[in-house]
Structures are given as structure tokens and as C-alpha cells.
């Protein structure tokens, strides 16, 4: 079953057999050990058979061996009516240390499991000597396949949910375990607290028989002797495991204050090196997690509740989170570190943060009717939630960034949340945490349910970069999380929408007049056009296609497994084609239909499809069905597929639009400033006394980016001109986008007096510094190459793995 992929080059396999059986809920019970850089504990999975499981064959008898029952007597807290916020008190008293924690590179020699020897295989994954032969086609046992990588699996067992006191309410005698789980999974949404509590109590139940398991590079395979179908297979299993320090789903590093931390960084392999799971997006599940760490650490996680620590013993605290909205396991996020909650010093009525009410016409986005998703406690059906402009939110960061957070980030969060509500209506999630992550975070931001990671690079300079990036990540609450792509190759359905909406949200947050908003959006469109042209010139054609599987998009094998094209290509992380082409398609549609028609439709689309997975045709077909015939203007799903989604390069409609379009006013102002700098650069060192000094206009951050990009096209700029440029716009104090272009100018013209700015950027702005390494090496200047290698040596130990791999290929 091992696919022998080259993880540096090939596609990403999703091997879970989701067509046969689906995880409905995860209960994680974990300990975080910074000394060994290991997360260990248990995960309990609750299943229901999928839509293609075999219906033939007999059912295995659901009884525990009598001696197992005697050996596993279990005292449980009494009733299921205990509030879910107290479920953390049910964390296993066995604790996180009931098997040996191995240090780096050590093998587990605890030998506690009689069912396997836990030997280390060549792949680095533990295995069982009693595991089934996955290549044995004659086997009649059902095989559960979970996505799993870089984990040491110690034990897998069936959970005796029938042993939980009070559980008999879910089924008639005899108490069949699978029937109990089926009833528990099927509880109506208004009983979610009771359901979560019972999941937690069932997760504490004793085991009633170990299951046979095997692992390979990409999966964990589990079977029960005699269970021939998914219906017969245990519907509740417990897996005891631990992560590995080199596992690719989490990063162990230090924060900006030098304190240890660990977090999920959006790895290409998602969460399969954090816990065994079903990775395909169709496997939408809920989860709850109890995480223990030293009392000095704060645990943040994807969760509906704002968790508070519970003191367990001296020096150790426990945190409990849960979610009730089913989502793919890939969206689960955790961050453990010495984070400090940032709070504003004062509140000002003139602040962007001022809570304000939009007009009733803007705020009234409620649609009658029942939601189309599987049942869960949905905010779109909650009258108070639909009018909540600003959801509860917190900001966390290392203490050393407190000043920057208070000055830049804190005032923006409520303003951007309110702006998003004014455009799309109901916030899909009930609360939000924002965390400034360590310097090695490989992008400017990442959105997960209830939590956003932001790079420290968003904080310096004026609020523009921080605001636009925050708006981008907030947009993912709707597009990417509440509405997800059914086929991950259609990344544009997440990133294209977020890129288009960030401009709209940011204009609302700034309370710009319509003409100002239009000007800023046209300027940003021009910058993205330049970026897209560069991208298609410098990337493989096959990676420029937004719908690479064409008519096979969304198709999976009979088992539910599939492959994500280019999912493991390290360079894909740094490509923006899905952002840019997706953005331009949506901008094209909004212009054709008019903003009022387009955004009215978008709100209706969100209400129709939230909580569900979509394909491109779902969006396009509903769009064309909901607009007047006269506005379709020969648009069709087939034409959009052909022109925008299934071809590489620049889409022809976009090419025609950019050729016919004129510069916006803000871009023309930049062109005038460029002309001034060209004149300054041409002047001799000794000038005539009466020669008029150039007067330069103050520019917006996006204008500064465009100015520097135009100046990069100049063949030579003198050191004197570069020094004047730096002083005039205080470039080292600007945001990271501006400073990145400034560093490019410094490198191109070998402006040694500003090399310190390049070094600082490579150290502090790792989310954006990859391209600079390339520029330093391409120059073939020995001093610049030494600078690049020196900065890399200082950063590589903590650098994101994909980033380090790409940079190493540039340097050596």
C-alpha cells in the first residue's frame, strides 16, 4: 500500500477510505513536552459507515470477553447532563506519562503492549508484528485506513462505550456498542452539550480488545478479526500515539522573546503528523481536545469556547476546547507557547475600533428557509448571531510585541470584523483569537476555525498591511472554512475569494468614500496584474491551472482515496497563481454584473452553501441562474472553465481588459513621482545653484510599492539617489511589502550602505524573504552571496522546512 512518493516532488496522497466509513467526532487527550519535543496521548474516533460500505456479510457479535470486562471496571462521573465546559475534569487519570516518553531518535522499548513489538521501520513509523498484510487480497476483514505520517503508534483498541453509566438511554437492550455510537452521532443539534459530554465520557471508557494495525509512509491501517464490513467494524476506537520531533505537521521553535513554543504552521501534509485522521475534505467531523502543558504555557486551539486553564498539579495546567460545526480535520489548529493576551491601553471614539451600526439595509441579510448542511448548531439560524457585527475576540503575542500590537493590530480587529459583516452578513464562527506567531512562520497569515495566525511582518509600518492581511484571513471564515472546496486542487475557491474580499472589507473598515475605495482597489488590481505576469513567466505551466483535474474534479476512488496534484511540491507554497487568477475572475464577474448584483448574490450563495463543500460549478451555475438574462452577456460555465480555470497563462478576457484599461488616478500620481526620481538620478553630482529642487508627494503604501517596482525597471540608480529615496519615504520604517521592494533595489544596485536592511529583512520577515535569497545569489556578487549564506545559517535551524529546502537549493 506504500506509494513510495518522493515527498520533495510528487503529489500528496489522501488514503483514508472515506467512502466506506467516516469519522464523525474526535476526542483528543494530549500532553505537550517541550523537553523531548513530543506531543503524546490518545485520540478516540467515533465512526459511522460511509455511503459505499459493503452491505453483504454477517455482523460480528458485539460482546467483550468476560475477563476483559472484569479487568476494565471503570468508574465514571454520573450523568450526561453535566455542562460540556466541565468535560475537562474527565481527562484520563492515567495521565500523560503512562508510557515512556522517548527523546529524539530514541525507540520505544517500553514493551507494554502484548499485541505488537513497536519496532522502528525503515520509514520511521512503528509497526505491529501481528498486523494484517495489506497486500493480501484474500483477507475478508474490513480494513480501516487513516491518513498518518511521522507518528509512533503504540496501541489501537476498541472502546467499550457500553460500560459508560447512563449510556443505556441511547439504545434498547442488549447494549450493542456500535448501536450506541450510531445513536450518539445522530443526536439533534439542540442536544449538542449532552452529545459532547457523552463523547467525552465514552472516550474514557475501558478498552475491550486490541485491534491489529500496520503503518506505512502515509497511512495507518486497522482491522478487527472477523469484522468483514464497515458496519461490523468498531464504531469507537482509541489510538495511543506520540508525535516525532521532526514531524511535519507542527513546528517546535522559539518565539520572539526566546521562549519555546509549538504550533501547526499549515503544513502541506496538513495534520496527519499531529494525529491519525481522515484527511479528505469530505470527512467533515467535530472534535474536542484536552491538552496539558506546563503551567507557564498558554494553549490556543480551534475551538468555540475561550478556554481557561485548570490547575492539575503543581506546575501543570489543562486546557479544553471543542467545536460543534463539522469541518475537515485539516482545519484543526493548535499553538502552545508563552503567549500574552494583548489589551488596548485606552479606547478612543475616533478609533477604527469604534463599534458602529451599519444601516438596516446593509445588515439585513437573513434568508428564510432551512440550511442545506448536515445538522449542527448553526449561527445562520440564530437571530441574535445574524445581527452580531463584531464577535468576541482576543489578541495574543509574545510580551515583547505588546507595543506593536496595541498600536497596530488591536484597533483593527473590531473594525475589520464589522466590515466583513456589512458585506457578507452572519459571522460563521462565534469568536476569534488572533495570534502573532514566531518569525519562522512561512506566510503572512493563516485562518482556521476560531483562530487566525498573523506573521510579525504585518506589524511594522502603518496599518495598511496588517489591515489588508487581517481582512484576507477574516474572509476565510466564509470562503475556505464555512464553505470549503470539495477538491483541494480548486484552491482558488478559497484564496481567490479571500483576495477579492480583502479589498472590499478593508475599504469598509477605513470608511472610505466610494470614489476613494474604487481608486485604491484599482491600484491594487494593477499591482496584482504585475505580479500575475511575473508568476506565469516564472512558473511551470501545469501549476498555473486552477482546475487541473477538469471534468474529473471532485472524483475519488471507490474507497474515497485521492491525490492532490503538486501537493508536496515545496515551490507551490510560494506561488500565488490561485490567489491572483481567482481574484481576477471574481473581479471580472463583479464588473460584468455590477457590485450590487454580485454581492447580493454572494450573500445568497453563502446562506445556501455554508457548512458544505463546493466545486467551481456549484458557484458558477448558481451565479448564472440568479442574475437577469441581460446581465449574463454570453457568460456560461463552459466559457469560464475554458478561459479562466482550465488553461495556463493569462486568461484572454483579462488580457483584453488590461490592454484596454487606463491607469487609475493613484497610479498616474506614482508615474509622475517616478519621472521626478528619474530626473534626480540623471543630474550631475555638482548642480547649478539655481536648479529647482524636486518636491515629492506623500504616497500611500501601495503607491510606494508601485513606485519602487517602477524604479526596479531602471537600469542604474546612483547611491546618492538611493540614499535620497530612503530618506524621503523613511523606507526602513515602512511595512514589509514596501521594505521588500526596497531591499530588491538595494540588491540590484549593490547599495552596500543599506545591506543591513537586507539582513534585517531576511531575519525578521522570513514569510517574505525567500525571493531575496534568489536575488542575492543571481547577482553573482561575492559579498551578496556571503550575506545570503550567513543569514541562512543564522535562520535555518528554526526556518520552516519547505522554505529551508527552497533556499538551500538556491544557495548550494
Report, in angstroms and rounded to the nearest whole number, the Rg of the chain calculated over CA atoms: 28
Cα–Cα distance measured from residue 22 to residue 51, given in angstroms and rounded to the nearest whole number: 9
**Phi-psi region at 634: left, alpha or beta (left = phi > 0; alpha = psi -120 to 50):** left
Q: Distances from the Cα of 157 to the Cαs of 214, 237, 777, in angstroms?
A: 13, 6, 54
Cα–Cα distance measured from residue 68 to residue 209, given in angstroms and rounded to the nearest whole number: 8
Cα–Cα distance measured from residue 585 to residue 244, given in angstroms and rounded to the nearest whole number: 42
Q: Name the burial class of residue 123, with classes exposed (0-12), middle (13-18) and buried (19+) by CB atoms within 10 angstroms of its CB.
A: middle
SS3 79: coil
Cα–Cα distance measured from residue 626 to residue 276, given in angstroms and rounded to the nearest whole number: 42
Mapped to the 3 state alphabet, what secondary structure does 555-577 carry? Answer: CCCCCCCEEECCCCCHHHHHCCH
473 is catalytic: yes
> SS3 helix, strand, coil % of the chain, rounded to 5?
40, 20, 45
Q: CA 290: distance to chain centroid? A: 21
Phi, psi of 454 (to 5 degrees): -125, 140
C-alpha cell recorded at residue 698: 506623500
SS3 272: coil
Cβ–Cβ under 8 Å, residues 17 and 143? yes
21: which strand partners?
A: 49
Q: Which of 40, 48, 194, 473 is catalytic?
A: 473
Place of cell 545559517: 793
Cα–Cα distance measured from residue 348 to residue 341, given in angstroms and rounded to the nearest whole number: 20
Cα–Cα distance measured from residue 25 to residue 196, given in angstroms and rounded to the nearest whole number: 9
- Which residues are known to be catalytic? 473
Amino acid at each position: 500500500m506504500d506509494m513510495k512518493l518522493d515527498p520533495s516532488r510528487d503529489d500528496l496522497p489522501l488514503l483514508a477510505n472515506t467512502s466506506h466509513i467516516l469519522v464523525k467526532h474526535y476526542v483528543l487527550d494530549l500532553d505537550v513536552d517541550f523537553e523531548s519535543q513530543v506531543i503524546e496521548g490518545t485520540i478516540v474516533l467515533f465512526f459511522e459507515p460511509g455511503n459505499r460500505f459493503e452491505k453483504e456479510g454477517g455482523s460480528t457479535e458485539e460482546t467483550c470477553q468476560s475477563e476483559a470486562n472484569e479487568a476494565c471496571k471503570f468508574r465514571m462521573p454520573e450523568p450526561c447532563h453535566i455542562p460540556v465546559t466541565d468535560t475537562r475534569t474527565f481527562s484520563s487519570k492515567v495521565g500523560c506519562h503512562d508510557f515512556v516518553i522517548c527523546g529524539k531518535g530514541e525507540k520505544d522499548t517500553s514493551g507494554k503492549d502484548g499485541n505488537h513489538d513497536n519496532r522502528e521501520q525503515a520509514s520511521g513509523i512503528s509497526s505491529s508484528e501481528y498486523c494484517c498484510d495489506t497486500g493480501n487480497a484474500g483477507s475478508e476483514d474490513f480494513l480501516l485506513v487513516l491518513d498518518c505520517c511521522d507518528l509512533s503508534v503504540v496501541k489501537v483498541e476498541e472502546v467499550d462505550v457500553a460500560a459508560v453509566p447512563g449510556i443505556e438511554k441511547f439504545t434498547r437492550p442488549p447494549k450493542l456498542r456500535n448501536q450506541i455510537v450510531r445513536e450518539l452521532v445522530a443526536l439533534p443539534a439542540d442536544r449538542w452539550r449532552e452529545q459532547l459530554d457523552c463523547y467525552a465520557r465514552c472516550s474514557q471508557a475501558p478498552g475491550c480488545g486490541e485491534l491489529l494495525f500496520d503503518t506505512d509512509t502515509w497511512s495507518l491501517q486497522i482491522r478487527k478479526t472477523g469484522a468483514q464490513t464497515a458496519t461490523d467494524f468498531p464504531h469507537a476506537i482509541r489510538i495511543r500515539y506520540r508525535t516525532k520531533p521532526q514531524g511535519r505537521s507542527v513546528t517546535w521553535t522559539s518565539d520572539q522573546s526566546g521562549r519555546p513554543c509549538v504550533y501547526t504552521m499549515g503544513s502541506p501534509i496538513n495534520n496527519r503528523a499531529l494525529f491519525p485522521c481522515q484527511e479528505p475534505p469530505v470527512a467533515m467531523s467535530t472534535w474536542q481536545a484536552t491538552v496539558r502543558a506546563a503551567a507557564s504555557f498558554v494553549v490556543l486551539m480551534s475551538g468555540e469556547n475561550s478556554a481557561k486553564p485548570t490547575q492539575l498539579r503543581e506546575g501543570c495546567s489543562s486546557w479544553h476546547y471543542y467545536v460543534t460545526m463539522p469541518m475537515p480535520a485539516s482545519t484543526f489548529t493548535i499553538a502552545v507557547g508563552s503567549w500574552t493576551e494583548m489589551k488596548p491601553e485606552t479606547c478612543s471614539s475616533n478609533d477604527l475600533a469604534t463599534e458602529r451600526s451599519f444601516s438596516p439595509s446593509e445588515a439585513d441579510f437573513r434568508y428564510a428557509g432551512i440550511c442545506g448542511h448536515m445538522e449542527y448548531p448553526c449561527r445562520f439560524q440564530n437571530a441574535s448571531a445574524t445581527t452580531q457585527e463584531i464577535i468576541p475576540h482576543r489578541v495574543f503575542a509574545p510580551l515583547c510585541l505588546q507595543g506593536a500590537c496595541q498600536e497596530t493590530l488591536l484597533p483593527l480587529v473590531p473594525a475589520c470584523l464589522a466590515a466583513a459583516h456589512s458585506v457578507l452578513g452572519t459571522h460563521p464562527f462565534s469568536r476569534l483569537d488572533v495570534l502573532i506567531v514566531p518569525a519562522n512562520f512561512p506566510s503572512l497569515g493563516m485562518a482556521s476555525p476560531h483562530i487566525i495566525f498573523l506573521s510579525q511582518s504585518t506589524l511594522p509600518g502603518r496599518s495598511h498591511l496588517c489591515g489588508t492581511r487581517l481582512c484576507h484571513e477574516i474572509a476565510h471564515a466564509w470562503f475556505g472554512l464555512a464553505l470549503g472546496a470539495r477538491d483541494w486542487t480548486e484552491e482558488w475557491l478559497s484564496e481567490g475569494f479571500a483576495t477579492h474580499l480583502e479589498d472590499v472589507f478593508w475599504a469598509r473598515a477605513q470608511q472610505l468614500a466610494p470614489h476613494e475605495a474604487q481608486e485604491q482597489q484599482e491600484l491594487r488590481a494593477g499591482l496584482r496584474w504585475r505580479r500575475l505576469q511575473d508568476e506565469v513567466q516564472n512558473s511551470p505551466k501545469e501549476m498555473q491551472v486552477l482546475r487541473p483535474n477538469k471534468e474529473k474534479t471532485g472524483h475519488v476512488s471507490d474507497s474515497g482515496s485521492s491525490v492532490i496534484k503538486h501537493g508536496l511540491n515545496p515551490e507551490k507554497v510560494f506561488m500565488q497563481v490561485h490567489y491572483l487568477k481567482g481574484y481576477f475572475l471574481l473581479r471580472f464577474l463583479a464588473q460584468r454584473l455590477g457590485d450590487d448584483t454580485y454581492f447580493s448574490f454572494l450573500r445568497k450563495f453563502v446562506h445556501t452553501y455554508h457548512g458544505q463543500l463546493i466545486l467551481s460549478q456549484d458557484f458558477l451555475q448558481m451565479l448564472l441562474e440568479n442574475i437577469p438574462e441581460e446581465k449574463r452577456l454570453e457568460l456560461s460555465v463552459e466559457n469560464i472553465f475554458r478561459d479562466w480555470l482550465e488553461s495556463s497563462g493569462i486568461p484572454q478576457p483579462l488580457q483584453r481588459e488590461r490592454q484596454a484599461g487606463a491607469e487609475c488616478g493613484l497610479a498616474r500620481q506614482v508615474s509622475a513621482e517616478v519621472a521626478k526620481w528619474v530626473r534626480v538620478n540623471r543630474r550631475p553630482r555638482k548642480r547649478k545653484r539655481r536648479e529647482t529642487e524636486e518636491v515629492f508627494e506623500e504616497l500611500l503604501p501601495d503607491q510606494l510599492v508601485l513606485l519602487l517596482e517602477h524604479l526596479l525597471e531602471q537600469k542604474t540608480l546612483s547611491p546618492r539617489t538611493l540614499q535620497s529615496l530612503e530618506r524621503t519615504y523613511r523606507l526602513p520604517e515602512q511595512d514589509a511589502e514596501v521594505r521588500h521592494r526596497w531591499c530588491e533595489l538595494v540588491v540590484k544596485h549593490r547599495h552596500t550602505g543599506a545591506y543591513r536592511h537586507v539582513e534585517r529583512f531576511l531575519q525578521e520577515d522570513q514569510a517574505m524573504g525567500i525571493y531575496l535569497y534568489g536575488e542575492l545569489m543571481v547577482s553573482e556578487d561575492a559579498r551578496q552571496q556571503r550575506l545570503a549564506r550567513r543569514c541562512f545559517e543564522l535562520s535555518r535551524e528554526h526556518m520552516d522546512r519547505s522554505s529551508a529546502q527552497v533556499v538551500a537549493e538556491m544557495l548550494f
